[in-house]
Structure 1
Amino acid sequence: MNTRYRCPNCKTNRTRFNIVEQVVSAVKLNPDTGEIVERYDTMEQAGPFHAHYNGPDRRIQCASCGLIEDEKTFAKYGEQ
């Protein structure tokens, strides 16, 4: 991972960031209690009405101002 970042919000931070690794868990909840009724190991088990997660695997947080965005946003500003 040799990507230069710069915060698009505070525009000065180029060194201090938090890398947030996102882990997706497909679940079915009890609508009354919010408890997990079932966990799905694969999306095929979840069935046709369960949408696949298509968001980023990683997000970046500026450790100066707290902005959290997609990694591409920070990398694009880091090129400048």
Structure 2
Amino acid sequence: MNTPYCCPNCKTNRSRFNIIKQDVQSVKMDPRTGDLLEEYASEQLSPFHLAYNGPEKRVQCASCGLIEDEKTFIKFGEKNNV
């Protein structure tokens, strides 16, 4: 479904945005060195590793640079639909 966006920060941009698709990678890192110790498949997470439950997409305003959840831009676009 096509939905109008509007930036909640600059309040004027309705047409220039960057869509950011998030690619989740579950990993275990060495706390001292930052080396990657283990990579988990989403079905095989350890008991102490929570699965990512954030948004699939984020949006950046190409005018002011604000990055937020897509829902924020949609709600502001619906509220300020001209």
Q: Is TM (by shorter chain) over 0.5?
A: yes
Percent of aligned pairs with the same amino acid: 66
| 1:31-70 pair list within 5 angstroms | 31-42=31-42, 44-70=43-69
Say whether 1:30 aligns with 2:36: no
After the TM superposition, list the runs of 4 or more consecutive aligned residues in structure 1 that deviate by more than 2 angstroms: none
SS at match of 2:39: strand
CA RMSD, 1 decimal: 1.1
Shift of 1:38: 0.7
Which runs of 5 or more residues in structure 1 are unaligned?
Answer: none
Shift of 1:46: 2.0
- Is the CA contact 2:45–2:51 (under 8 Å) kept in the aligned structure 1? no
Which runs of 5 or more residues in structure 2 are unaligned?
Answer: none
Counterpart AA for 2:6: R
Deviations 1:30-80, CA, capped at 9 Å, x for gaps: 1121011111112x4221100111111100000000000110010011112
Q: What count of residue pairs does the alignment treat as equivalent? A: 79
